[in-house]
Each structure stands twice: as structure tokens, then as C-alpha cells.
Amino acid sequence: MLGQKIYPFLLTAYRWYLLTPERSLNEAYQSALKIKQIEDKYFNGQKISPDSAMYSSSVMDYFYTELKKLLKNTRIRLTEFKASRWFSSESKQQTAAKTGIEYPTPVLVLEKLGFIDHVITKYTNNNLDKTSTNLLRSPNVEAESQIITQLNTPISPVQSDDKKPRRKTDTTGVLPRSILTTITRLQSELDPNSEQDVVTTFRQTQKRTIISIRFLLLLIIIPLLTHQIAKAVFVGPLVEHFRSAEVMEVFLNVEMEEEALVELQRFEERIKFENLITNAPTLSPEVLESQMKEKAQEIAEEFWSQSSNAIKNVFADIFSVAAFIWLLFISKSSISVLKDFFDHIVYGLSDSAKAFIIILFTDVFVGFHSPHGWEVILEGLSRHWGLPANRDFIFLFIATFPVILDTIFKYWIFRYLNRISPSAVATYHNMNE
């Protein structure tokens, strides 16, 4: 009886196994067909790209997301098809024929494979533009990669044989950079296609700015939202469930206890002082004790809430840091665009502006008054996490970290800024003196 019950299930599983090649090929074919439908309906039969049709960035992001999902499914199903065909044999095909399974003809299989290759080749061919290749990794990589590879190339009819984009920090030569810039500008002005190049450069710069600002906002908003959501939804209820006011201690460290005692002592002195200046009858010990007990209970509830909030902050910050690292991990191309964006902003400033910003940052973080700021920051972090403010650690940090930071600033000035803009370095030294 048991064998009769199990046999239908085994037969169904075996039929599913035998149909794996056909099922995988059909799913890959359907995904490729959907890509083709999107191309025919929205991009005039061309590949999914801003060059094929004029759409806003939000619409293109939607198309890129759909394309990435369909391409991923197509590749997975093709891999499954190849693996299942590898384990397939003539004996298994004969067994499938006995169970009523008919495999598609080789002609039909080749037609579907040819159609799939025709569709996805436009997005995987290494001989095409790099934007088509990088599109498979994230929805916005097409515009970002195009910005990375093209914005660093000067507008000139003579192209360099080196396809790797060169940053301003890597450009050195015998002649001063200003003379080379003037020659390049004259060449671009005499070029018949200079107007088109200017428009193209402006569009690329606009895309780079939008991507950089959006990525900066994401770096700020996503960790903050993750912190608040994790604290309110996950961490908060768990901490309140396991931390009972009747069982757990009120204070996390000695500093919180001393602060509570000082507040209670001030409350007692204020009551006595108000009683003296109002010429009211002397408070009895019972009344004073009753008021002190109520105030002590109020202070205990307040510091218990602060202790719970500090514990919540520790775990919520872990979620926030994890979200920040995850965002950096999946946004490598956006980071490259952001680096290029800051490179153009910093090195595009005037010499006096560069010197002003350098002096401002060095004075704030490594200057004479910076230890007080670092002390406030470290004490705030200690209070945020409910840790006692270790004065020895704070003083050791202030004695070492600003020095390291100052060394990094000086190395950057000597190694990069001195090569890019020697006049800015001279202005910096004059203003610093």
C-alpha cells in the first residue's frame, strides 16, 4: 500500500526532471521575448538605452531594472538548460517517450537559442560600448560608466591611444598646465564639431551631478532611516521585553548614577530655599521625605528610559552601519562618479578658495581649538551608547588622531595639490603665515 502511494509522486518528480531542459529553455525564451517587446514598443526596436529614445531618468531606471531582472533570469535558465542537457542521454529520452513526454525538435531548439542570443548579445558583447556591458550590474550603471569614461577626456579632435581615463592628479608634463589648457581650448574652438561636443559634455556633467547628489542623499538618508526603523520596529520592542524596570538596574554606569544624585540633591536644596524665602511654615520631615521620594521615583524613571534608549542606540547603530556598508558595496560605479564629481569641484576652485577651504578644515579638525571639539564629540558618543566617558581614552585620542589627520592633510598637499596647482599651495602658505 505504501509503495502504491509513493509511486505516483516518484513518477511526477521524474517527469519534472525529464522536462527540465524544455522548461528552462522556454523560460529563457519568454524572458528574451519580453526584452524584445520592450525594445519594439518603447525603443523603436533598438537596444534599451537613452540613445534609442528620450525618456526621463526615472523612466530609464524602471526600464533598466526590468532589463536587469530579465537578463538575469535568461542567463540562469540557459545555465540550467545546458546543465540538464549535459546529464541527458538517449536512454533517458527513450524513457521520456514511454511516459508520454515529447522533446522539442532540434530545429525548434536552435531557433529559440538563436533568438535568445540575438537579444542578449546587445547587452553582453565586449566589442560594444562599455555602457552596455556595465548595464548588467545595476540599473544606473549605463549613465554612470559613460560619465566615468568620457568626462575625463578633454574635448579635442586628437584622441589618446590610452583608453583609460586620466584624472587631473595624473597629468604631468614639461610645459605648464595652463599653456596646454589654452592650446586644447583653441583646438576645440577651431573644431567644426565643437558645438556638439559642448552640448554632449554639458549633458554628461549634468548626469554626473545628478548621480552624485542622489548618491550623497542616499548615503545620509538610508542609514538614518535604517536606524529609526530598526529602533522602532525591531530593537525597541526586544529591549523593552527583556529589560524590565522591576528587575534590571536603573543606571548603566557610575556617571549616570552621580548625575541622578546631584539632581536629587539640587531638588532638596531648592525646596528648602523656596521655603525660606517665602516665610512658609517649616517643612516637616515626613512632607520633605514624601516629596523627595516622588522626585527620586521620577528621576529613576527618567534614567531608566535613558539607559534603555542607549541600549537601543547600540543595536540600531549596528543596523545603520550595515546598511551604509551594503550601500557602498552595491554602488561601486556611483562611488567612481562621486570621486570624479569631487575631483572636478575641488580642482576647479580658484587658488584662494582652495587655500581658504584647506585652512578652514585644518583649523577645525587639527587646529589649536580642535581638542575641545573632539572632546565634545567623544563625550556625546559615550552618552549616546550609555558608556562612561573614559578621560584617559579621550585624552589619548586627542593626542594621536588629530596628529595623524594633520599628517594626511600635509601629505595630500605635498603629493597632489602641489602637482596640480602650485600657486594654490603658495597662496595657502601665505595665508597660513
Please report the pLDDT score of residue 143 as a whole number.
Answer: 44
**How far from chain centre, in Å, is Cα 342?**
16
Q: Is 43 strand, coil or helix? A: coil
The residue ranges of the chain whose pLDDT is under 70 are: 1-18, 86-104, 124-178, 180, 188-194, 244-248, 280
Please report the pLDDT score of residue 144 as a whole number.
Answer: 45
Which pTM does this prediction carry? 0.53
Contact 142, 49 (CB under 8 A): yes
Please report the pLDDT score of residue 220 as a whole number.
Answer: 93
Domain boundaries, the chain: 2-139, 222-330, 349-432
Query: In 236-331, where does DSSP find H-type helix?
Result: 236-242, 254-277, 285-330
Contact 207, 143 (CB under 8 A): yes
Q: How many angstroms separate the first and last alpha carbons of the chain? A: 98
Q: Which residue in 33, 35, 17 sits closest to 80, CA to CA? A: 17
Angle between helices 141-151 and 57-87 (to 10 degrees): 110
Give dist(CA 13, CA 7) in Å, integer: 10
Contact 430, 354 (CB under 8 A): no
Evaluate the CA torsion angle 392, 393, 398, 401 in order and state its sign.
positive
Q: Which amino acid is at 257?
A: E
Query: In 54-170, where does DSSP find H-type helix?
Result: 57-87, 90-98, 106-120, 130-134, 141-151
Please report the pLDDT score of residue 207 as a whole number.
Answer: 85
Please report the pLDDT score of residue 16 as a whole number.
Answer: 65
Evaluate the CA torsion angle 318, 323, 326, 332 in order and state its sign.
negative
Q: What share of the chain is helix, strand, coil (3-state, %, to 5)?
A: 80, 0, 20
